[in-house]
Structure 1
């Protein structure tokens, strides 16, 4: 039996709990993302994942030399090798001997929400590739940073969360694939989506209303709101609020600007407004976040 952390909604984690694996470390990293380090020592065992409903990144840290995925004969695990398991995948794994690995569990929306800005694609068009035992220096470096980082206090979790979001961006760029389903209907034309995204980025310091966006897209406010949600994965107000927080995070990490100036640049009415919105999104104050990121 495992001593489980808080209730887990990640099916791959639940499957691992039902095996002879030992949970070495676990943490909720914020934003509904979790990480775990597992160890297994077994003569031979079969592990099955069936459409878990979430994405998983797996990084082998030690052993795995005789572990293989059914249907992929003579491909074995090894330290520094990676696997990506999308939410709708099905797989069987024959596990033998010693194995130590890192799992990062995250929902599809965590992965695809950044597609608009980083790939100029709609979130609903992209998914995580199903890949077994591949190498990626960039992803490996981020996984090693996550393993090396402490996951204990609030500041530690903030830094681990930042590493994990960098990992998701790298995954999107290197392991994101277009869904095999027919191109989804509805939503904004790509040129309109780009125009709206660029306008929001250029005007984070100013009030941005639904009417402004509707005029820019040549649509009624009702149709703009509906189609924006389809193409961006969230309503306009939520997208703008998230981009303001993310912009504040970037400035807090990379500059020494006073908090008041950051509030102004990110469109917050005053320091109190910045603090309230930032704490609601990040679980800590802007000042504490800056201090944590500087360590």
Structure 2
């Protein structure tokens, strides 16, 4: 994910003379979080390139969208601001709220993994003052963690993934009137997903995947990105890392065995890729969940 300073919603809040940033952190995997307090303010969000989920932690009863003044916020209310949306907000009185920022690639992975849909078919539905006790509880657990402490940041990352998965399952819907052009046929896309999942522990090349679709590597790579929302190598790496996270959370396998089961050539290669994605080593990740 882009640095927090490059995220539109984060920047819009940070530019307010009344808003105070209490905590913020990059959580890896295209996710970032921030905890804000604000009062007596007005904020406009214009077509951000990322999705934002927010949860009101305290106060907020004087907060409303300028176009909908009759609907007011309250503690545990949630808002969903999809990428590309526009909204204008008025804050009368005080508010404390948590933000979770999600990049498009992470949303794309959720559409494929959880919904078996092409990401371009789907959109995250905008919602204002949604009631969802399960999500509100996750947000409260998230802000209770110390994000500056590496182990707790890893736990925060796991919670953030749970929040995103829930949002994809409950708030993503088909785009209306969309006519898809290009990309892979749905049956081919599903075959590729199944093939990759079944062979994560083995070398998988672009040529292997292209051959299964009877396409040249060049055309396959373009069509894969159209249908999956990210390039083949990024999708494959994301799936391998997610499998590794599952194994590290629940098992006691040696790290070198986890690396091999997830298709990494060596423990060092696995550790480097894991650190680049999550900001910690596989050993740190396992230790965080043990504690």
Greater alpha carbon shift after TM alignment, 17-26 vs 71-80: 17-26
The corresponding residue for 1:118 is 114
Measure, in 1, the Cα distance between the counterparts of 2:44 and 2:279. Answer: 36
Between 1 and 2, higher relative CO (CA 8 Å, sep ≥ 6) is seen in 2
Aligned pairs for 1:151-230 within 5 A: 151-180=147-176, 182-230=178-226
1:37 to 35, 38, 45: 35
- For normalisation by structure 1, the TM-score amounts to 0.90
- Deviations along 1:77-129, one digit per CA (max 9) or x if unpaired, are 01111000112111112211121111112222222222111111112222221
Measure, in 1, the Cα distance between the counterparts of 2:98 and 2:277. Answer: 26
Aligned pairs for 1:53-92 within 5 A: 53-92=49-88
1:22 to 11, 15, 20: 20
1:237 to 222, 233, 238: 233
* Alpha-carbon spacing, 1:14–1:158, altered in 2? closer, same or farther (3 Å): same
Aligned residues, how many? Answer: 288
* Alpha-carbon spacing, 1:278–1:12, altered in 2? closer, same or farther (3 Å): closer
Measure, in 1, the Cα distance between the counterparts of 2:192 and 2:102. Answer: 27
Measure, in 2, the Cα distance between the counterparts of 1:200 and 1:54. Answer: 27
Structure 2 runs not aligned, ≥5 long: none
RMSD, aligned α-carbons? 1.9
- For normalisation by structure 2, the TM-score amounts to 0.91
Measure, in 1, the Cα distance between the counterparts of 2:112 and 2:265. Answer: 27
* Alpha-carbon spacing, 1:253–1:12, altered in 2? closer, same or farther (3 Å): same
Q: CA deviation at 1:273?
A: 2.9
Are the counterparts in 1 of residues 54 and 78 from structure 2 also a CA contact under 8 Å? yes
Measure, in 2, the Cα distance between the counterparts of 1:53 and 1:209. Answer: 31
